[in-house]
Structure 1
Amino acid sequence: MGPEETLLNLPIWLTLFRLVLIPFVVGLMFVPMSGFNIAAAILFGVALATDWLDGHLARRWNQTSAFGAFLDPVADKLIVCAVLVILVYRDPHYYVALPAAVTVGRELTVSALREWMAELGERGVVAVGSLGKYKTAIQMAAIFCMLFQLTEQGIVYGVGVVLLVISAALTLWSMIEYLRQAWPRLSMER
């Protein structure tokens, strides 16, 4: 597949659509009218659906590409980090801020680790595992719940906070696991 064809497949367009949704989700979080938080949650849900769909279609139609492999996790991390920052802004309590900081810190650390391992030709050492997938699923459910009831902060919001704390614990665990797997290469003298 040539570089000009890379942007023409549906999985890439779905990933780009997810990137376009980010300012809308974030913007809706600032609208001071009732119901806009639900609209933000729905758009976040649409982003989640496109995340699943683009990967499914890319594998099913054999339209995977280096550009797609780069862009998909970038889109995921951008929407998660952007929404977490605004959630902390809207609810600056430690039980929101601490798991959000852990999540953003882990994303930066693991992204840097993957980039460094790729430079060493050993990117597969820090490939996404099942723990990372569980963490992501819980994290996305947490954010959806928190967005859905952001203005009232009732039981659904509380469930989201609990899920966010659980996902932060899994986030730390998965980061430690990635670092453990990469440690033999990290500790080598150059």
Structure 2
Amino acid sequence: MQLTVPTALTLMRIALIPVFGLCFLLPPPWTNLLTVAVFALAAITDWLDGYLARRLGQSSDFGAFLDPVADKLMVAVALVALVTVYPHLWMAVPAAVIIGREIAVSALREWMAEIGKRATVAVSQLGKFKTAAQMAAILMLLYREPIGPIPLPEMGMLLLWLAALLTLYSAYVYMRAALRVLDV
């Protein structure tokens, strides 16, 4: 297997996960800015690897497998870390919904691929909007402080709930599509 630029970016995103964890555990004042920077870099590589794979014609089966795994790992680690900063139901519920949905939909996609129906549960525009809301929310919550009059943590929490609601809806859409194909 030849290592392509998009796959290298995805592997870099996976390598950033322990770096993110270490930065998150650093004492203030560096924690906020460093974790935001590492997570932002990971989010940018998420967009960039897909763009480059299409633009350069470097899509691969391995990259298609690895990319969503890298995304889900980074998001899950960030959400679990955020629950330690915001230890209440308002954070735990959307974190659990998002992580649970990612596991369930990944399993559904794998199962549908096994029976040759992977396209039935392909990523939709709704999923991309959900991901954007989720990434923005996580960045705001990681920063942990307002910027001037802008209440970043509160805005992040609202966006995270929006992402969780979109997550539930997209899970419903995927399940409905899969059930239709399976004639259950």
TM-score bin (small chain): over 0.9
Query: Is residue 2:40 matched to residue 1:45?
Result: yes
Look up the equivalent residue of 1:37 and give its one-letter code: N
Q: Tell me how far 1:187 sits from its aligned partner.
A: 4.7
Q: 1:176 aligns with which of 169, 172, 178?
A: 172
Residue pair 2:146, 2:153 contacting (<8 A) in 1 also: no
- Cα distance in 2 for residues equivalent to 1:23 and 1:37: 16
Q: Tell me how far 1:185 sits from its aligned partner.
A: 3.5
Which position in structure 2 is the counterpart of 1:62? 57
**1:63-142 equivalent positions in 2, closer than 5 A:** 63-142=58-137
How many equivalent residue pairs?
Answer: 182
Look up the equivalent residue of 2:168 and give its one-letter code: L
Look up the equivalent residue of 1:104 and give its one-letter code: I
- Report the TM-score when normalising by structure 1: 0.91
Query: Is residue 2:157 matched to residue 1:161?
Result: yes
Q: 1:148 aligns with which of 143, 152, 155?
A: 143
Query: Share of identical aligned residues, percent?
Result: 50
Match of 2:123, SS? coil
Which position in structure 2 is the counterpart of 1:24? 19
- Cα distance in 1 for residues equivalent to 2:100 and 2:56: 35
* Unpaired stretches in structure 1, ≥5 consecutive residues: none
Look up the equivalent residue of 1:46 and give its one-letter code: L
- Cα distance in 1 for residues equivalent to 2:99 and 2:133: 15
- Cα distance in 2 for residues equivalent to 1:58 and 1:187: 35
Q: Tell me how far 1:25 sits from its aligned partner.
A: 1.1
- Report the TM-score when normalising by structure 2: 0.94
Q: Tell me how far 1:30 sits from its aligned partner.
A: 1.5
- Cα distance in 2 for residues equivalent to 1:95 and 1:142: 13
Residue pair 1:38, 1:149 contacting (<8 A) in 2 also: no
